[in-house]
Chains A and B, each alone.
Chain A
Amino acid sequence: MTVSSTPFSEGFVVSSKSPSTHILSLGSVAKSFAGLKAVNDVSLDVHQNSLTALIGPNGAGKTTLFALISGFIKPDTGTIEYNGVDITGVAPFDNARNGLTRTFQIVQPFAGQTVLENVAVGAHLHFTKRSLALEYASHVIEKMGLLPHARKLSSDLTIAFRKRLELAKALATQPKLILLDEVLAGLNPREIQEMIPLVKSLVTEGVTVLMIEHVMQAVMNLAEKVYVLDHGALIAEGTPSEVTQNEMVIEAYLGKGTAERLNRKSAKLDMKAHP
């Protein structure tokens, strides 16, 4: 399953700005809902075979942006390019066929079906034969650590396993770019620790990941690049450590003036630590 686009892609991932390594680029995408600008003039690029995070306070428009990229809603203005092809307004199922799929923040299992059947639905995208689809599905299930639950009803799973199922369903479609919408939300620290390597393994297998995440531990751990969205607009981008020190980001999360206060506090602490 290892897909590397060019022999020297590894060296290119971080440094190159050439458009050929962008699997996804948004150009001034905007969407408003009856006066509310949910996404306002957002431009961002996702490098081939990288793990990019999209963070921001609640209601910042992250999920809307995912819906725009995957085709569930159409942008008012702007363009979305995937692999150099304009996919603005392309239906989500066509995007999935081209290797761009998403997961849902509020997990959307096919409640009446078993875990295996759920994942097989995704596998059917590339396998017409039922037995082959089931075989591939069980392969994905094994990778996601869901094997003991393969025959349970998806509605009987705990939230942690439902999140994994969400991931497994999307993976079964053999995506090139996967949009993960808060796969870690609602999990306890141990479950997060178990989930992080799974997400990491996607990138090593050649899948590009764009993830929305609130769990900063994961973002710091996983992401090569972070985009910060607030009130529908991009307010910062950079490496995780750059972004977390960005004053605008701190203020977006913790309120106006917090950055200053925090700076003062850390200065005081520094004074105490190294008098």
Chain B
Amino acid sequence: MRDIKFIALFAILIATLPFLTHSGVILNFVVMALYASLLAQSWNILGGYSGQFSFGNAVFFGTGAYVQAIAQMQFAMNAWSALMLALCASACVGLFVGSVSFRYGLKGSYFALVTLAMAEIFRILSLSVNFTGGGVGLMLPLNSSFAGMQFVQKSGYVWLILSLVCAALLITSFIKHSKLGACMQAVRDNEDAAKALGINPFSVKLVAISMCSVVMGAGGAIYVQLFQYIDPSIAYGPQSSVEALVAAIVGGVGTLWGPIIGATALLLMSELTRNLFGQIPGINMVIYGFVLVFIVLFAPTGLTGLGVSVRTLFSRSHNTNHRNKVDGGEDLKGLDGERAGSAESAENGADRTNLTNLTNLTNLTNLTNLTNLTNLTNLTNLTYQTNLTKDNNSPKSQVTQDTQVTPDTSSRTGGK
């Protein structure tokens, strides 16, 4: 299939990059772009193909991150088996969140709010239990080896994350060309019609959310391996959820490459703005916001949509000539290849309405964040303090053990 060829090409291209350049800036950029692509692709599976807009992908992200850290630190597991465990754990959380919300038919903004609330619940829980290190967070000891999944050279991370991104791409391309994907898109476009055609929307959505959560969990685990540090607000805070959904929307939801393009474009933009207006803190977030608004207004299909609309303009006359030939399997194969043009522009129609919903939602989340903040800051401060005092009192606390390695890691976390 054409998609798989492109994925292979993409993999080879990125994988050879570390041999061509040793520039830390470029490799670091590639690592971060791949990491952001992973998050965006996760959101795309659930939001783009199944039409379930999650605002709390952090639930899966944080679970993946915490399991990755805890399995290594407290159960002395190898980083790779920890990753497997992290993926399983986030899948379980995904199934839980999905079964709770889809069981009762939550859709649209209601589903988005429930996922947001779930992330918040997990954040507070992770603040108040001991094994997560509370508000102090967990600091993964440095172990630069293959078994520890930490690499001195950036190239190791490039290959590691690249393989995960390719796995996510293969999952998405499988969705695109299979019964499952057809069912997911049917549920996205019209749930009642899907039901009449023998599709059980509940199970389709459940599969979608578990796929989404596995990919997002991988993102969380990778975060821990990259920065060797995790705390409740990084794990379950809105940052990762927003990063995932904005990148997917900017790139183009419901497309294979959209999330990768979106994530890269946004990262490029935020790096540029940071260099240009470095003295104004948070300016990149302001520009983020503007870009999102402009994309929703003027390019509801995202950056890939822009490319496709140019392509369809060119191929329109060509297409009409071939439209009448759709009978045998031979023609259908051609159709599958040519679908890119028509099918992706097909997604345009559906997405516009979805996106307007989204803008409504973003307003909502701001509101809820506000109320959350006012309500929760007191609470979180409280738990934070209690945890701090606990940690200070206990002589064997993880924090004191790990402080020797902080100089290196703190500079890395500072980079984020």
Q: Is A109 an interface residue (CB 8 A)?
A: yes
Please give, as numbers and ranges, the residues of chain A lying within 8 Å of B254 by CB-CB distance.
112
Out of B183, B192, B333, B343, which one reaches A121, CB within 8 Å? B183
Find out whether the CB atom of A125 lies under 8 angstroms from the CB atom of B197.
Answer: yes
Are A72 and B332 in contact, CB atoms less than 8 angstroms apart? no
Cβ of B395 under 8 Å from chain A = no
Size of the chain A interface, CB-CB below 8 angstroms: 48
Complex partner residue of A117 from B182, B199, B328, CB under 8 angstroms = B182
Residues of B within 8 A of A (CB): 177-179, 182-183, 185-186, 188-190, 192-201, 254, 319, 323-324, 326-329, 332-333, 335-336, 339, 342-343, 345-351
Asked whether A93 and B349 contact (CB < 8 A) given A108-B190, A114-B342, A131-B329, the answer is: no
- Alpha-carbon distance between A172 and B345 when the two chains are bound, in angstroms: 25
- Which residue, B319, B326, B335, B350, has most C-beta atoms of chain A within 10 A? B326
29 contacts between A and B (CB under 8 A): A91-B195, A92-B195, A92-B196, A93-B195, A93-B197, A94-B200, A108-B192, A109-B189, A110-B186, A110-B189, A110-B194, A111-B190, A112-B188, A112-B351, A117-B182, A117-B185, A121-B185, A121-B194, A121-B197, A121-B199, A122-B198, A129-B179, A130-B178, A130-B179, A135-B329, A151-B323, A152-B323, A170-B196, A173-B198
**Distance (Å) between the CB of A174 and the closest chain B CB?**
10
Please give, as numbers and ranges, the residues of chain B lying within 8 Å of A91 by CB-CB distance: 195, 200
Kindly list 16 other residue pairs between chains A and B, CB separation below 8 angstroms, not including A151-B335, A153-B342, A169-B197.
Answer: A70-B196, A93-B195, A93-B197, A93-B198, A104-B193, A108-B193, A111-B190, A112-B185, A114-B346, A121-B185, A121-B197, A124-B179, A147-B326, A148-B324, A150-B323, A170-B197
Check if B190 sits within 8 Å of A109, measured CB to CB.
yes
In the complex, A274 Cα to B200 Cα: how many Å? 64
Residues from 134 to 152 in A contacting B, C-beta threshold 8 Å: 134-135, 138, 141-142, 147-148, 150-152
> Closest CB of chain A to B245's CB: distance in Å?
19
The verdict on A193 contacting chain B, using a C-beta distance below 8 Å, is no
A65 within 8 A of partner (CB): no
Measured between beta carbons, the chain A residues less than 8 angstroms from B343 are 113-114, 117
Report yes or no: A112 in contact with B350, Cβ–Cβ below 8 A. yes
Give the Cβ gap from A90 to chain B, nearest Cβ, in Å: 12
Q: B198, B323, B346: which contacts A125 (Cβ < 8 A)?
A: B198
* A147 partner residues in chain B, CB cutoff 8 A: 324, 326-327
Interface check A226, CB cutoff 8 A: no
Cβ–Cβ contact B182 & A130, under 8 A: yes
- A138 near B199 with CB under 8 A, answer no
Please list the residues of chain A having a beta carbon within 8 angstroms of any beta carbon in chain B.
Answer: 70, 72, 91-94, 96-97, 101-104, 108-114, 116-117, 120-122, 124-125, 127-131, 133-135, 138, 141-142, 147-148, 150-153, 155, 169-170, 172-173
- Which among B178, B188, B200 is the interface contact of A93 at CB below 8 angstroms? B200
- Complex CA distance for A72 and B192, rounded to whole angstroms: 8
Instruction: Report the separation of the CA atoms of residues A70 and B329 in the bound assembly, to the nearest whole angstrom.
Output: 33
**How far, in whole Å, are A254 and B286 apart by their CA atoms in the complex?**
65
Contact partners of B349 in chain A: CB under 8 A: 111-112, 153, 155
Ranked nearest first, the 9 interchain pairs of A and B with the lowest CB-CB distance are A112-B350, A96-B198, A110-B189, A108-B193, A125-B198, A92-B195, A121-B186, A122-B197, A150-B326
Please give, as numbers and ranges, the residues of chain A lying within 8 Å of B178 by CB-CB distance. 130
Residues of chain B contacted by A130 (CB below 8 angstroms)? 177-179, 182
Q: How far is the CA of A129 from the CA of B328 in the complex (A)?
A: 15
Q: Is the CB of A138 within 8 A of B189?
A: no
Distance, CA A102 to CA B339, complexed state (A): 29
Expressed in whole angstroms, the Cα–Cα distance for A170 and B342 within the complex equals 23
Return B18 CB to nearest CB of chain A, in Å: 37
Of B185, B188, B190, B345, most A-chain CB atoms within 10 Å: B190
A96 in contact with B197 (CB, 8 Å)? yes
CB distance from B253 to the nearest CB of A (A): 11
- Whether B190 and A124, one on each chain, are in contact in the complex, defined by CB atoms closer than 8 angstroms, is no
Tell me which residues across on chain A come within 8 A of B193, comparing CB atoms.
104, 108-110, 169
B residues near A94, Cβ cutoff 8 Å: 200
Residue of B nearest to A115 (CB): B326
Q: What is the distance, in angstroms, from A209's C-beta to the closest C-beta of chain B?
A: 15
Q: Are B335 and A133 in contact (CB under 8 A)?
A: no
Bound-complex Cα distance A128 to B196 (A) = 17
- On chain A, the residues within 8 Å of B346 by CB distance are 112-114, 117, 153
A109, A135, A142: the one within 8 Å of B332 (CB) = A135
